[in-house]
Amino acid sequence: MADPKLKQAKNWGKEKCFQEAVKAVLDKGESQRHAAELYGVSRQALGPRVAKAKADRDEKVARAKAEIMAKASGPLGLNETRRVPDFWEFDRLYFGGLICPDCGVHHETPDFHRDMIGAVESDSRRVLINPPPYHSKSSLITVKHTIYDLVRNPNHRTIIVSASTDMAKSFVGQIQTWLEDPEVFEGSPRNLIEDWGPFKVDGQSKWNEQQFVISGRRSAEKDPSVQALGWGKKIYGKRADTIKFDDIADNDNQSNPEQVAKMQTWINKMALSRIGKTGKGIFVGTRISHGDIYSIMSQFPSYNWVRFSCILDDQTEQTLWPDHFPYSQALIHRDEMSAAEFQLVYQNVDIPGTGASFPPEMIEGCKDTHRPVGHHEPEWRVVAGLDPAG
């Protein structure tokens, strides 16, 4: 039966007709074509109005839900957090269905993962974590824990810095998938989007491959919730609560001491100045070379440095993560590398003098231990020099 109000449509203004047509589509399930005919409006003009009205309605629902969540734990102001479980319960609930692509099974949380998150959530403002390759450092710290920060506090801002912008974008893309695709939670006990979302409202334009702002954010700050950045890029004007430097070092940007010094200057003067005195800088990455940026940071007393060795005991064939990276796999990589390289990359052990043209034992062999330091023959001439090979 036709709606009695339709008889009045001929007496309404154009805007009123559009409003009623939009309501017919959203509230009564009418098709856009039929609603346009009933109210005498253009179907082409009705479509965008319906889309905008739906986006506005979704945004209001999301805002109302966020307010309800906030009231459940008291007023949610800037830097205040919701009542969410601790990280490990959060991980079990929402990522408990994850299957390892290499092993085809879901791995239980290894102890060293707990140690890494313990360092991330410590009171230290600077954290340096050096695990071996293939030990899920990025999935744990850069992806999962960033999502955890956003759920606890929708106002939280994170900058992800990698050796290249494309690599940083890949992390942002992974985070976005977890925040907008409910199918990824298949097999997990709970669905993050249903419990704490929506994080993205249809029609919202602030999401792209490099940055995004989540729905429900109550901060007046304009900086993105999460954004990607390649090292050395301009960072003026950007502010964040946390900067995560994930694999910022590679063979190209650590090729010589000048490159390392350049990166250190950018990190200290440019990047870390964006988080102020209350923000946190988290560095996670695999060692690249002797004298790399990680070796410099490890000497800073204010840095909470956590490192792990892949092989814990050769005699018992014990490894750091036996379920995922057994001793047999570690041997393959050890056979493919020099002893010094394996010690550095997989064991996180720096061997002094490794790679130098004149190693310590050669220098020691050239010393004249019978001559006092500073004494020389009268006919000798002292020439100052610097040996770059060392």
What would the pLDDT profile of 299-328 be if each residue is shown by its tens digit? Answer: 999 999 999 999 999 999 999 999 999 999
The number of C-alpha atoms within 13 Å of 337 and in the hemisphere containing its C-beta is 14
pLDDT tens digit string along 176-219? 999 999 999 988 999 999 999 899 877 665 799 999 999 878 77
Contact 215, 59 (CB under 8 A): yes
pLDDT at res. 58: 73
What does the pLDDT read at residue 175?
A: 97
Q: Which residues contact 255 (CB under 8 A, 6 or more apart)?
A: none
Q: What angle do CA 177, 138, 287 make, to 5 degrees?
A: 155
pLDDT score recorded for residue 73: 42
* CA atoms lying within 13 Å on the CB side of residue 73: 13
pLDDT of residue 111: 95
Strand partners, 282: 127, 244
Residue 335 has pLDDT above 60, yes or no: yes
- Higher-pLDDT residue of 35 and 148 is 148
Long-range contacts of 184-189 (CB under 8 A, 24+ apart): 185/94, 185/97, 186/97, 187/96, 187/97, 187/98, 187/99, 188/93, 188/94, 188/95, 188/96, 188/97, 188/98, 189/92, 189/93, 189/94, 189/96, 189/97
Q: Which residue has the higher pLDDT, 86 or 366?
A: 86
Name the least confident of 30-34, 120-124, 258-262, 329-333. 30-34
**What's residue 306's pLDDT?**
96
Q: Above 70 in pLDDT, residue 86?
A: yes
User: Is the pTM for the entire model greater than 0.85?
Assistant: no
Give the pLDDT of residue 353: 57
Could you report the per-residue pLDDT of 163-176, keeping only the tens digit for each?
999 999 999 999 99
Task: Round the average pLDDT of the chain to a whole number and report it.
Answer: 85
Per DSSP, helices labelled H in the chain are: 14-28, 32-39, 43-72, 87-95, 111-120, 137, 145-152, 165-180, 192-196, 257-265, 293-297, 327-336, 339-345, 360-366
Portion of the chain with pLDDT greater than 90, in percent: 55
Cα-Cα end-to-end distance for the chain = 91
Between 15-19, 121-125, 342-346, the lowest mean confidence (pLDDT) is in 15-19
Q: Of 151-165, 206-220, 233-247, 355-369, where does the model show the most confidence?
A: 151-165
Q: Which of 72, 98, 121 is nearest to 192 (CA)?
A: 98
* 1-27: pLDDT as tens digits: 455 555 566 667 788 888 888 888 888
How far apart (Å, rounded) are the C-alpha atoms in residues 104 and 323? 11
